[in-house]
Amino acid sequence: MSVFWQHRVTWPSCILTAALMLSTPVQAVQPDEVLDDPRLEERARDLSRGLRCLVCQNESIDESNASLARDLRLLVRERLVSGDSDDEALDFIVERYGEFVLMKPTFGGSNWLLWAAGPLMLLTAGGIGASYVRNRASAPEAGGTLSEAERKRLAELMND
């Protein structure tokens, strides 16, 4: 008997294995959507992986089962069959649905602010932190000497 079969298989390991096998991305493209030309179909799949499902918002239209994602997949294929280049097909869809439909938004236009917001906030927080540390280091020590009246009052409070 081999060493592999001598180990005991437990239910949790079976469930984990099944979950891992089922967690691979599922393609939602239906057989009736697939184009006859394999080159066009590959272009369509590449484009649909870069387009966001407007219903799910976290999946590409290639992975989504939403009806709007199916409509977008069909629209991409329709544009490619009609002779559009990849850029022309994307431009048509972005013009119709807005730049939100792109999984990776462009850097131009008003998106530059969104791209720059993270690094700008990090630099601002770093500046505020450095200023705080610098000011704290140069601040006079708190808790200087007490006056005679304050010492008496403190002693009274401590004895109570």
Whether 57 is in a domain gets the answer yes
Whether 144 is in a domain gets the answer no
Whether 151 is in a domain gets the answer no
Q: Which residues of the chain are under the pLDDT cut of 70?
A: 1-9, 11, 13-14, 16-32, 109, 142-144
Whether 43 is in a domain gets the answer yes
Whether 137 is in a domain gets the answer no
Number of domains, the chain: 1
Whether 126 is in a domain gets the answer no
- For 51, the domain range is 27-101
User: At 37, which CATH number?
Assistant: 1.10.8.640
User: What are the percentages of helix, strand and coil residues in the chain, rounded to 5?
Assistant: 65, 0, 35
Global pTM value: 0.55
Whether 1 is in a domain gets the answer no
Confidence at residue 7, expressed as pLDDT on a 0 to 100 scale: 55
